[in-house]
Amino acid sequence: DESARGDYTNPDDGSYVSVPSPLGKLRNITREKVDVLLLRNSLPQHFHLQIDEVEYLESIGSGSFGKVYKGRFKGKIVAVKRYQVNALCAKSDVDMFCREVSILCTLNNPYVVKFIGASLQDPSQFSIITEYVSGGSLFSILHEQKRLLNIISKLNIALDVANGMNYLHNLPHPIIHRDLNSHNILLHENEQALVADFGESRFLTSLDDDNMTKQPGNLRWMAPEVFAQCTRYSVKADVFSYGLCLWEILSGELPFAHLKPAAAAADMAYRHTRPPMAITFPKDMTNLLQCAWHSIPDERPNFVTILDELGRIKETQANSLPSNGNTNFVFSDNQALTAESPSNTGRETPPLTGHVTALRTRWEMEAFTTTLKSSSMDDMKKQLTEYGYVVDST
């Protein structure tokens, strides 16, 4: 800042080291104090909590904002998001905290994490208290626990998330999430999914709002128009992120796991690369995915349309289940294998491991069905060639 040099500074003096003006920092501090005061006045009284009312039990997560703890409040298990105010942070944690509280206190929906209250008095103890969701994040379930989900469970999770996003987008003052990914989808023990983490969210005041923050959220799930640093984008950016989450739920794989997040976002934005379609995806699901992550935002469906389509797909899959109730995999004649669709152009992606798993599981199921037809071990042996292959003798 030139104004910080002073009248007697020689611009050619090599000993001079440019330092930022303290005025900018003071302006930010003043603005943040105003934001906190406004929030204290506007937040309904029953949401005001004292941090010493919360008993901390254990740390269950962390991020750039601080840590998340499992705690106890008035006899109930809760989640406590403790902000760590950092004066050197490029993005104001206070601003993020105030925005998240102001959004959470307006939400009331079974598919969105429930807000209990916030501690606003001491900046060093800024905290957000929400319901505790015991099942953990979708990311943890898919990629850390590697839990196998049947097709109906996957569709139920997808429907829950779509219901939550549809609620956000159709409020009197619509909310754009801007950070929808598997880390921010939480599951109860009964596998009901909730949309969570509104630190990057904001109220959408106008469809022509061109004052959006550049590149908020996780790069791996980021819409191309957001990654390209466009300051005018809409709720359709959330639809793109949802499409990647839907693919992730169905495949059990991390989108572009072979790439770093920034490289994945760049490939999607500039090379129009999309994750590969598995042969286990129903054709209607493939079409829905390709629409959801369309490169033109206006061509993407809204969540009302997504809910209708997912409902039809779920009904079709439920009617296709085997009579024995096995719902691990559903195979039908209208499954798609699209390797050369326009949305798969760009950098090559490695084969989806889900392909191998699906084919192996299908073979095992068919082999098991075949062995049930055998009345004895001798009959079973007659069906094997010298190389161990099964020969259908019927």
Distance of CA 103 to the CA centre of its chain: 18
Residue 179 a catalytic site member = yes
Which segments are annotated as binding site? 81
Question: 37-51: per-residue pLDDT in tens?
Answer: 888 888 999 999 998
Q: In this prediction, what percent of the chain has a pLDDT beyond 90?
A: 55
pTM of the complete model: 0.75
Spatial distance between the Cα atoms of 44 and 39, rounded to a whole number of angstroms = 9
Spatial distance between the Cα atoms of 113 and 193, rounded to a whole number of angstroms = 9
Model confidence at 65, pLDDT cuts 50, 70, 90, reads: confident
Would you tell me the crossing angle of helices 303-319 and 151-169 to the nearest 10 degrees? 160
Model confidence at 176, pLDDT cuts 50, 70, 90, reads: very high
Model confidence at 31, pLDDT cuts 50, 70, 90, reads: low
Q: Which amino acid makes up residue 7? A: D
Spatial distance between the Cα atoms of 226 and 343, rounded to a whole number of angstroms = 18
326-349 mean pLDDT = 38
Q: Which of 93, 179, 197, 267 is catalytic?
A: 179
Spatial distance between the Cα atoms of 237 and 177, rounded to a whole number of angstroms = 9
315-337 mean pLDDT = 55
Give me the residues paired with residue 185 across strands: 195
Which segments are annotated as binding site for ATP? 81
Q: Which amino acid makes up residue 100? A: E
Question: 105-119: per-residue pLDDT in tens?
Answer: 999 999 999 999 999
Cβ–Cβ under 8 Å, residues 71 and 55: yes
Domains of the chain, start order: 28-132 (3.30.200.20), 133-319 (1.10.510.10)
Specify the pLDDT at position 381: 55
